[in-house]
Structure 1
């Protein structure tokens, strides 16, 4: 049962769930963590029914508990991708996509660059350590076989999911505001000088301005992401307490 919850977290959590990590590595890591937690008596005092149906139900509960934890952490990076989508659309890069093996789908170039950059920040902030710490804490908060859904947990999960859009706006705001001002200025210029061909310069201007603003605001984006990650850590622990 230790193995099932850990496996669910490793499959759904950012970085650990990346498809570039072979399945064999994930299985070995899950077995190693299961052995370590078992050695520290993390499941001490748990008595399981040996009948098939109760064991199956408990196994499903453990997998859902682990997947819930991984999904909650993944919400942060869902917001990051959405921020990249907003920036790409406004810069005119919505048709330029890159294949992402983690999700087996194509994403805009800006979205993928932003995702990889903030994933690096996540690792530098020991975010992967937090995932493992949250996993260990989950066995103290939610003992094996004791997972159950509650109204408070559903509301908290909906609230966290809604935060994905807030994260996207916070990260993309500098670029979107700059591009909005550029569009507004060009619109006014077009009204003042109708004979001027605005469309000949607008696309290259938006791409250049968007790239400059993104590069200039990298420290701000990293700072905002650190604040978001710190706030999410307590929210995820609170979610586990409600489960």
Structure 2
């Protein structure tokens, strides 16, 4: 019955992985069955359990503190990864503002939230690129190596450190910078179109700029979006690297490094 003594440590590992999958891109989507998430978390926890040297953990008041700590770490890592990846949705919102598509938001069945048309289109490409480039394996490596930075049996972790807040704020700033870089070719071009339409409205006051401008922006914006796709995938690759770097830095800070 030695496995009963190891059951609390296994449950702690399982809780961190399950909380991580609950907020991780791709794995947290609604079209992924909850039964699959739980089964995958159990299987992954079973593998990680035999790679760690964790002693017997008693089920007492400290154990419940450890459960709360594991949930917070898993949720924080998954939220940071999701926040970085949602830069694509922000870039799509920037593009839709200029192209006039923002008035027609659609419901995303994966997250259950409203999403811009262009953002959903680019996000689908980004998810496919993430899967093809084994980015999901990189994210799973993050939770695997998190136990080296923040051990299971360690009750204290440095969540309230100033450097942790600075890292999260830096991740938000990086997300907006990458989103602006993704949207800049289209937004910059359509800004010049707005300038040209403004000059035409002054030269020809009888012309209805609003009637001419909306189809013109769509007619110019879609080919430019097609041309920017190679640069878009390059930025998505940088985004995945930034996501992994932010997760590793956050784990080092939470572990007291």
TM-score over 0.5 for the alignment?
yes
Determine the structure 1 residue equivalent to 2:158: 148
The alpha carbon displacement at 1:197 in A equals 2.9
Q: Does 1:21 align with 2:22?
A: no
What residue is the counterpart of 1:212 in the other structure? 223
- Which deviations, in whole Å up to 9, do the C-alpha atoms of 1:142-166 show, x marking residues without a partner? 1014333122112111211222211
Alpha-carbon distance change, 222 to 61 in structure 1, aligned in 2, over 3 angstroms: same
- The residue that corresponds to 2:112 in the other structure is 104
- Structure 2 distance, partners of 1:132, 1:241, is 17
Please report how far the alpha carbon of residue 230 of structure 1 lies from its aligned counterpart in structure 2 after TM superposition. Answer: 1.7
Name the structure 2 match of 1:85.
93
Aligned to 1:56: 64
- SS in structure 1 at match of 2:103: coil
> What is the correspondence of 1:58-207 to structure 2 with a 5 Å cutoff?
58-146=66-154, 147-149=157-159, 150-207=161-218
Q: State the Cα deviation string for residues 21-80 of structure 1 (Å, max 9, x = none).
A: 00000000000001111122x2x13453421x2111100100111111111111222211
Secondary structure of 1:37 counterpart: helix
* Contact persistence 1:61–1:145 (CA under 8 A): no
SS at match of 1:94: helix
* Distance of 1:31 and 1:210 partners within structure 2: 46
Distance 1:145 1:181 in 2: 59
Answering whether residue 54 of structure 2 is matched by residue 45 of structure 1, we say yes
Deviates more, 1:161-170 or 1:60-69: 161-170
Question: Partners in 1 of 2:172 and 2:211 — Cα distance?
Answer: 40
Q: Deviations over 1:184-208 (max 9, x none)?
A: 1111122222233323311100111
Distance 1:148 1:47 in 2: 24
CA distance in 2, matches of 1:180, 1:128: 36
**Are residues 94 and 133 of structure 1, via their aligned partners in 2, closer, same or farther at CA, if it must alter by over 3 Å?**
same
Of stretches 157-166 and 2-11 in structure 1, the one that deviates more from structure 2 is 157-166
Is the contact made by 2:54 and 2:152 (CA closer than 8 Å) also made in structure 1? Answer: no
How far does the alpha carbon of each residue in 1:81-111 deviate from its partner, in whole angstroms, 9 at most, with x for none?
1111111121111121221123222212111
Number of the residue aligned with 2:245: 234
TM-score, length-scaled by structure 1: 0.94
TM-score normalized by the length of structure 2: 0.89
Using the alignment, how far apart are the partners of 1:16 and 1:186 within structure 2?
A: 45
Q: Give the whole-Å Cα distance in 2 for the aligned partners of 1:64 and 1:102.
A: 23
Match of 2:21 in 1: 10
State the alpha-carbon separation in 1 of the partners of residues 106 and 70 from structure 2.
35
* Alpha-carbon contact 2:99-2:218 (below 8 Å) kept: yes
